[in-house]
Amino acid sequence: MVAQAGAQTGGTNADRVEVAKQTTARPSKDAPLVPLVPDDGADRPTGEGVAIQAVSLPFTFNFDITSSLASRTFWPTSGGRTCVSLRGQGGSDPIYFGKEIKVEMWNAYGTDTKVGPTVRYSLNGNSYGYCWTGLYPYHEHYFRLVKDWSPTVRVWGTGWASAT
């Protein structure tokens, strides 16, 4: 079971912080590995003529961060749902164990807009997941991984994005 909440732009929902729940789910064995991209805080280009097109769910990814990374843009399900699961596997300093990274969901259509709550994921070797619902099914979206503690400590792990 993965926690979930409806996504709304702006307002108090976008300011909420949720906690991802531990999950025993695993990614689809056929899900492609999609690299995360440097997060410069700029709007994501979308639509035709973009060098890197949006991907479909499901996909897997690896992360290795000191501050933040962003996913490639992707299409949520036709029902407006996307789940992100993470497993923190290591760090450059033992202080990482038990700390958290945050995940934010963004609508990349036009001017990028944060949707739904920010979700905290524990870095303790277990897998945690959270599902955003109420996303715009015909808009490209992306998520950001944010580590806002000790900028000199790297943390790494694996994850996947899916419909469940």
* Domain membership of residue 115 as a residue range: 3-25+58-155
Evaluate whether residue 9 is within a structural domain.
yes
One-letter amino acid for residue 72 of the chain: R
Q: Give the count of domains, the chain.
A: 1
pLDDT higher than 80, residue 30 = yes
For tokens 């949006």, what's the residue? Answer: 54
The band of 43, judged by pLDDT with boundaries at 50, 70 and 90, is: low
Q: pTM value?
A: 0.86
DSSP run (H or E) holding 13: helix 11-15
CB 80 within 8 A of CB 134: yes
Summarised one tens digit per residue, pLDDT across range 70-101 is 998 999 999 999 999 999 999 999 999 999 99
CB 145 within 8 A of CB 68: yes
Evaluate whether residue 32 is within a structural domain.
no
Evaluate whether residue 111 is within a structural domain.
yes
The band of 1, judged by pLDDT with boundaries at 50, 70 and 90, is: very low
Which residues, in sequence order, are CB contacts of 74 under 8 Å at separation 6+? 54, 55, 56, 57, 59, 82, 140, 141, 142, 161
Interior angle at CA 157, CA 107 and CA 86, nearest 5: 50
